[in-house]
Amino acid sequence: ALTALRHLRSGLALWGACFCAAFEAEVLHTVEAGRLLPPGAVVAVGASGGKDSTVLAHVLRELAPPLDVSLRLVAVDEGIGGYRDAALAAVRRQAARWELPLTVVAYADLFGGWTMDAVARSTAGSGRSRACCTFCGVLRRRALEEGARLVGASHIVTGHNADDMAETVLMNFLRGDAGRLARGGGLGSPGEGGALASQKEVVLYAHFCRLDYFSEECVYAPEAFRGHARDLLKLLEAVRPSAVLDLVHSAERLALHPAAQPPPPGACSRCGALASRPLCQACALLDGLNHRHPKPVRALPPGGALLTTPVPGASSLSMVLRRAGL
């Protein structure tokens, strides 16, 4: 039997090559219309081995000639035993198959010996055991910045889908985080043409293109607050199928208000990375960890291994997979 997905606007059931061609054409249109990647850009693609980053890398590889950009895969080794090794193996297979250069940066090397397993042990029983994803998100972003610097990238792109974005918006509502909601709920640049690809669309594209990706859930994910937002979103979708896109579009409209625009970022006083405060989030989190369990290796020294020259465009690091009409 043929597997197809009905286009939300046209109502057409697209499958196989037709679906993939439409998917790629809409990404191309969105990138060109929004001038997201200028000709000659060196693009660091955040490669986790999961479906979203795999689809993003594959689509951009197909679109690299008409866009006139060059791609570099950047993967992050968070140091999660029994999980990350398998995911990195998938990334290495992708890099070999697509003939794309791959750079792997590790938390242990960048952050004074700290890995996510070590962070989890340090925070266990402290009331912060559910904060692993918060630590990891901040540190992974910094690691991607460093990877981009190492490969000489001018832009960083990461893969997301509409379900992820709706969960993020919902989490900010539940936390009462008015600042993030006013800036678009954490979606990145708003109003760049069209809706996000749904999780189903991303999975179907990977299926039709026979993409090899890693599908296991992180061992720390069950502790994350995001899981509760995901469960709530599923309940909302059951009574209102448009709930995902409604949440995303609401956050985008909030971000269009002039008062919601954040001030230009400054530089971290310690490591020089982009920051909205004197000390960036990564340095602040590492200070807390080192206060509890000092490490013999220096963490984030001034002018050290981490980013001291900001990547152009790094204030808007994430180009989400936006596609008009889906």
Binding-site annotation: residue ranges for ATP? 46-48, 52, 76, 159, 164
Residue ranges of the binding site: 46-48, 52, 76, 159, 164
Give the angle 26-145-68 at the CA atoms, nearest 5°.
40
Shortest CA distance to 151 belongs to which of 31, 307, 265, 273? 307
Do β-strands 266-267 and 195-196 pair in parallel, antiparallel, or remain unpaired? unpaired
Asked whether the beta carbons of 212 and 93 are under 8 A apart, the reply is yes
- Distance, in Å, from the CA atom of 22 to the CA atom of 62, rounded to the nearest integer, reads 13
- The 3-state secondary structure of 48-102, one letter per residue: CCCHHHHHHHHHHHHHHHHHCCEEEEEEEECCCCCCHHHHHHHHHHHHHHHCCCE
- Distance, in Å, from the CA atom of 67 to the CA atom of 65, rounded to the nearest integer, reads 5
Residue 3 tokens, joined:
């597997």
- Distance, in Å, from the CA atom of 234 to the CA atom of 165, rounded to the nearest integer, reads 14
Helices marked H in 101-242 — which ranges? 107-110, 116-123, 132-150, 162-175, 178-182, 199-208, 226-239
Asked whether the beta carbons of 102 and 73 are under 8 A apart, the reply is yes
Tokens 């996510």 -> residue: 116
Tokens 């000659």 -> residue: 40
Chain-centroid distance of CA 256 in Å reads 22
Compute the 3-state secondary structure of the chain and give helix, strand, coil in percent, each to the nearest 5.
Answer: 50, 10, 40
- Paired with 196 in beta bridges are 322
Residue 288 tokens, joined:
């807390």
